[in-house]
Structure 1
Amino acid sequence: MFKNPKKILAFTIVLAILLNPILVTEGSRILGIFNYYAYSHFKVFYPLLRRLAEEGHQVTVVTHIKALDKIKPHNYTELLLTGGLTTNVVTFKDIFPRRSLFNIFKDADYMHHEGLSHCELLYKSGHVDTILKSHEQQPFDLVITEYMNSDCQLGIPYLLQVPVVGLSSCVLMPYHFDRIALPDFPSYVQSKLVGFPEELNCYERLLNFLQTKLVNYIYRYRTHSDDRKVIKKYLNVDFDIEDYAKRSTSLILVNQHYTLHGNKPLTSQLIEIGGIHIDETALKAKLPDEIEKFLKNAPAEGVLFFSWGSMVRSSSMPSEKVQTIVKVLERQPFNIIWKWETDEVPTKSKKFLFVKWAPQFSLICHPKVKLFWGHGGLLGTTENIYCGKPLIITPLYGDQSVNAYAVQNRGVGSILFFDDINEKNLEATLKEVRRKSYADNAAVLSHLFRNRDMKPLDRAVWWVEHLLQENGKAAHKLLQTKAVKLNWFVYYSLDSVSIILIGLALFIFIVRAILRRLCGLFKGGKQSGKVKTK
Structure 2
Amino acid sequence: MKSKCLSFVFIYVLSLCLGFAEQSNILGLFPHFGYSHFKVYSPILRELAKRGHNVTAVTYIKTPEPHPNYHELLLEGKSGVDVLSLEDHVPSRSLWTMFMEFYLLHAEGQNACEAFYSSPHIEDIIRRHNEKPYDMVILEIFNTDCYLGLSYLLQVPVVGLSSCALMPWHYSRIALPDNPSYIQSEFIGFSEELNWQERLINFIQSNGNKLLYRLTEWNDNAVIRKYLNVNVDVREIAKTTTSLVLVNQHYSLSGNRPLSAQVKEIGGVHIPAGEKLPTLPKNIEDFLNASNETVLFISFGSMVRSSTLPKEKFDGIVAAINKLNLRVIWRWDSGKAPFDSNRFMFSKWTPQLSLLCDPRVKIFWGHGGMLGTTEAVYCGKPIIVTPFYGDQFLNGKAAENRKIGTVLNYDQISEQHVLESLREIMRPRYKENAAGLSKIFRNRETTPLSTAIWWIEHVLREKLAHDILRTKAVNMNWFIYYSLDSIALLIFSTVLPIAIVYIAKIRYF
Query: Gaps (5+ residues) in structure 2?
Result: none
> What letter corresponds to residue 26 of structure 1 in structure 2?
E
Pair 1:351–1:450, CA change in 2 (3 A): same
Question: Within the alignment, does 1:81 sit opposite 2:75 as a pair?
Answer: yes
Structure 1 residues 404-437: Cα deviation after superposition (integer angstroms, max 9, x where no partner): 0000111000000111011111111111111111
Distance in 2 of aligned mates of 1:270 and 1:280? 22
Normalised to the residue count of structure 2, the TM-score between the two structures is 0.96
CA contact (8 A) 2:273 2:447 kept: no
Distance in 1 of aligned mates of 2:431 and 2:276? 20
Q: How far off its partner does 1:94 sit?
A: 5.0
Question: Within the alignment, does 1:54 sit opposite 2:50 as a pair?
Answer: yes
Instruction: Percent identity, please.
Output: 49
Structure 1 residues 168-208: Cα deviation after superposition (integer angstroms, max 9, x where no partner): 00000000000000011100111001111221110100010
Question: Within the alignment, does 1:260 sit opposite 2:250 as a pair?
Answer: no
Map 1:75-474 → 2, pairs under 5 A: 75-95=69-89, 97-220=91-214, 222-280=215-273, 283-299=276-292, 301-469=293-461, 471-472=462-463, 474=464
Structure 1 residues 252-289: Cα deviation after superposition (integer angstroms, max 9, x where no partner): 11100001100000011111000000124664432111
3-state DSSP of counterpart to 2:304? coil
CA contact (8 A) 1:282 1:362 kept: no
Distance in 2 of aligned mates of 1:497 and 1:231? 41
Distance in 2 of aligned mates of 1:350 and 1:15? 61
> What letter corresponds to residue 247 of structure 1 in structure 2?
T
Distance in 1 of aligned mates of 2:8 and 2:335? 62
Distance in 2 of aligned mates of 1:232 and 1:513? 60
Distance in 2 of aligned mates of 1:489 and 1:426? 50
> What letter corresponds to residue 227 of structure 2 in structure 1?
Y
Structure 1 stretch displaced more, 251-260 or 331-340? 331-340
Q: How far off its partner does 1:350 sit?
A: 1.3
Query: Gaps (5+ residues) in structure 1?
Result: 521-534
> What letter corresponds to residue 510 of structure 1 in structure 2?
I
Normalised to the residue count of structure 1, the TM-score between the two structures is 0.92
Distance in 2 of aligned mates of 1:461 and 1:442? 29
Q: How far off its partner does 1:515 sit?
A: 4.0
Distance in 2 of aligned mates of 1:194 and 1:175? 14
Structure 1 residues 220-273: Cα deviation after superposition (integer angstroms, max 9, x where no partner): 2x0011111111110000111101110000001110000110000001111100
Pair 1:212–1:18, CA change in 2 (3 A): closer
Distance in 2 of aligned mates of 1:208 and 1:316? 32
Q: Which residue of 2 aligns with 1:530?
A: none
> What letter corresponds to residue 159 of structure 1 in structure 2?
L
Q: How far off its partner does 1:92 sit?
A: 1.3
CA contact (8 A) 1:393 1:404 kept: yes
Structure 1 residues 142-179: Cα deviation after superposition (integer angstroms, max 9, x where no partner): 00000000111111010011111000000000000000
Question: Within the alignment, does 1:510 sit opposite 2:500 as a pair?
Answer: yes
Q: Which residue of 2 aligns with 1:525?
A: none
Distance in 2 of aligned mates of 1:124 and 1:280? 39
Distance in 1 of aligned mates of 2:14 and 2:372? 44
Equivalenced residue count is: 507
Q: How far off its partner does 1:512 sit?
A: 2.1
> What letter corresponds to residue 72 of structure 2 in structure 1?
E
| 452, 477, 486: which one aligns with 2:476 | 486
Pair 1:16–1:290, CA change in 2 (3 A): closer
Distance in 2 of aligned mates of 1:356 and 1:217? 41
Question: Within the alignment, does 1:498 sit opposite 2:498 as a pair?
Answer: no
Distance in 1 of aligned mates of 2:158 and 2:242? 5
Distance in 2 of aligned mates of 1:229 and 1:131? 21
CA contact (8 A) 2:87 2:310 kept: no
Structure 1 residues 42-83: Cα deviation after superposition (integer angstroms, max 9, x where no partner): 0000000000000000000111111132xx110111111112
CA contact (8 A) 1:97 1:401 kept: no
Distance in 1 of aligned mates of 2:11 and 2:47? 23
> What letter corresponds to residue 233 of structure 1 in structure 2?
K
Pair 1:11–1:75, CA change in 2 (3 A): closer
Q: How far off its partner does 1:452 sit?
A: 0.2
Structure 1 residues 389-411: Cα deviation after superposition (integer angstroms, max 9, x where no partner): 11100001111000000001110
CA contact (8 A) 1:30 1:143 kept: yes
CA contact (8 A) 2:181 2:203 kept: yes
Q: How far off its partner does 1:292 sit?
A: 0.6
Distance in 1 of aligned mates of 2:447 and 2:120? 37
CA contact (8 A) 1:326 1:346 kept: no
Distance in 1 of aligned mates of 2:305 and 2:396? 19
Question: Quick one: higher RCO (CA 8 Å, sep 6+), 1 or 2?
Answer: 2
Pair 1:43–1:284, CA change in 2 (3 A): closer
Q: How far off its partner does 1:325 sit?
A: 0.6
Structure 1 stretch displaced more, 12-21 or 416-425? 12-21
3-state DSSP of counterpart to 1:152? coil
Distance in 2 of aligned mates of 1:304 and 1:183? 40
Q: How far off its partner does 1:105 sit?
A: 0.6
Q: How far off its partner does 1:342 sit?
A: 2.3
Distance in 1 of aligned mates of 2:402 and 2:8? 56
Distance in 2 of aligned mates of 1:21 and 1:133? 29
Distance in 1 of aligned mates of 2:127 and 2:377? 45
